[in-house]
Amino acid sequence: SAVISQKPSRDICQRGTSLTIQCQVDSQVTMMFWYRQQPGQSLTLIATANQGSEATYESGFVIDKFPISRPNLTFSTLTVSNMSPEDSSIYLCSVRRGGSGAHNEQFFGPGTRLTVL
């Protein structure tokens, strides 16, 4: 599977500020995704990061709050804008395994632990 890295690994931010999280993959991948895992909860898909076009957001998530970039097939960023304490969460990027026979197996980066004060 691909090697996925995320920066930063953790951050503590003030209310009202924004944080950009980077996701880097060591090989080209067709599909990248951004998830959120709130304390004690499971994973919730925020959006699919599309290369060369606007991200596809899930219900409850909007571009103004979570702008996403995908400039190429190995890199994506997620920005958490105008943060509030409710945004405190772990943010994870994932990539979909490609090739014939793939069934949407997804592999996760190490995550970014965000705390908003």
Partner 1 sequence: QKEVEQNSGPLSVPEGAIASLNCTYSDRGSQSFFWYRQYSGKSPELIMFIYSNGDKEDGRFTAQLNKASQYVSLLIRDSQPSDSATYLCAVNNGNNRLAFGKGNQVVVIP
- Closer CB to partner 1, residue 14 or residue 60? 60
- Closer CB to partner 1, residue 36 or residue 80? 36
Enumerate residues 6+ apart whose C-beta is below 8 A from 41.
none
Give how far Cα 14 sits from Cα of 11, 81, 87, 90, 113, Å: 10, 11, 11, 16, 14
95 neighbors 2 (Cβ within 8 angstroms):
yes
CB of 41 to partner 1, least distance (A): 7
- Closer CB to partner 1, residue 58 or residue 81? 58
Stretch that binds partner 1, among 12-20, 67-75, 78-86, 102-110 (CB under 8 A): 102-110
Q: How many CB atoms lie within 10 A of CB 6?
A: 18
Binding residues with partner 1: total (CB under 8 A): 22
- Closer CB to partner 1, residue 75 or residue 108? 108
Footprint (CB under 8 A) of partner 1, residues 10-49: 31, 33, 41-45, 48
CA dist 76 and 40 (Å) reads 26
CA dist 71 and 80 (Å) reads 18
Q: Which residues bind partner 1 (CB under 8 A)?
A: 1, 31, 33, 41-45, 48, 58, 90, 92, 96, 103-111
